[in-house]
Structure formats: structure tokens, C-alpha cells
Amino acid sequence: MRLLSRSFLILALAALLSGCGYNAIQQKDEAVKAGWSEVLNQYKRRADLIPNLVKTVQGYAQQERQVLTDVTNARARVGQIQVNADDAESLKNFQAAQGELSSALSRLLVVTENYPNLKSDQSFRDLQAQLEGTENRITVARGRYIESVQGYNLFLTHI
């Protein structure tokens, strides 16, 4: 009898614990981590496109060496930063480096306006389209990450 009551108590406790939301918390936590990974993946994709874009522009714009150097240096700084989504300081540094890279890319694209042959070059147009697509992907990935963090935090407040 005593064994039966202990077994029943253990089963009741197990049922209560399984319903406390632990699995849901883990699922939401993993969704947040996956969202952040996607953001980093899109930033990496952008950084990987830059050397080809710079090479293409270099062929046309030899005198624009400073802009090309700025883009290359900004990309290098982004690659050196180790970001941790849980560390506000590393996120701040990461965002600052991404901002510098965006600014340098904007200056590079302004330079291309002065070179009509470059703008009509197929490889440049392809790279520019890929870069624009990646910028859109970054925006979408960041939005999804923010939504998953909000969902996770909201879930935790209701437990």
C-alpha cells in the first residue's frame, strides 16, 4: 500500500512538473538563440560580399582609394568583434562596427554614381543586388529576433 501511495505521489509530482512550462521555456529560448544566429549569419553574408564588391569597383575607380580602404577597414573591424547577445557592451560594440560598415558601404555606393560604366557592369549590378537583398535579410532577421525575444520575455512573465 505504501509503495502504491509513493508511486502515485511521484506520478502526481511528475505530472505537475511537466506542466510547469519548462519545455516551453526551453523551446522559446532556443528560438531566441536561433533568431540571433540568423542575424549573425546575415551580417556575415554581407561581410563576405564586400571583397568582391570592392574588387569590382577598384577596376573602375582607382582614384577612390580612400573610400575603398574605409570599406575594407570597416569590414575588418566587424570581423574582429566577438559578440555575445547576453553582454550589452559587446552588443554595443558590434552595432557600432556594423554602423561603420553600413556608412562605408553607403559612401562606396555614392562613389559608383560617378562611374556610369561601373553602374552598367553586370558583375557590379549583381553584387549590388545581392548586397541590397542581404540588407533586407538583415532587417527581417533582426525583426524576427526581436519578436522571439519579446515572446520569450512575455512567456516568462506569465509563469
- What is the structure's pLDDT at 9? 62
Tell me if 125 is assigned to some domain: yes
In the numeric block, which cell numbers belong to residue 8? 502515485
Q: Is 20 within a domain?
A: no
Q: Residue 111: its pLDDT value, please?
A: 76
Residue 146 lies in a domain: yes
Host domain of residue 32:
27-157
**Residue 32 near residue 148 (C-beta atoms within 8 A):** yes
pLDDT at 105: 85
Give every CB contact of residue 131 below 8 A, 6+ residues apart in sequence.
Answer: 46, 49, 53, 105
End-to-end CA distance of the chain: 36
Question: Does a structural domain hold residue 17?
Answer: no
DSSP 86: T
For residue 119, tell me if it sits in a domain.
yes
Q: CB under 8 Å to 55, separation ≥6 — which residues?
A: none
In a domain, 5, yes or no: no
- Number of structural domains the chain divides into: 1
21 within a domain of the structure (yes/no):
no
As a whole number of angstroms, the distance between CA 137 and CA 145 comes to 12
Per-residue pLDDT of the chain (159 residues; tens, 9 = 90+): 666 667 666 766 565 555 567 788 889 999 999 999 999 999 999 999 888 888 877 777 666 677 778 888 888 888 888 888 788 888 888 888 888 888 888 888 777 777 777 766 787 788 888 989 999 999 999 999 999 999 999 998 887
Q: Calculate the alpha carbon distances from 157 to 92, 150, 152 in Å.
A: 26, 11, 9
The predicted model scores a pTM of 0.67
The answer to whether residue 45 is domain-embedded is: yes
What are the distances in angstroms from CA 61 to CA 87, 110, 113, 123?
Answer: 40, 12, 11, 15
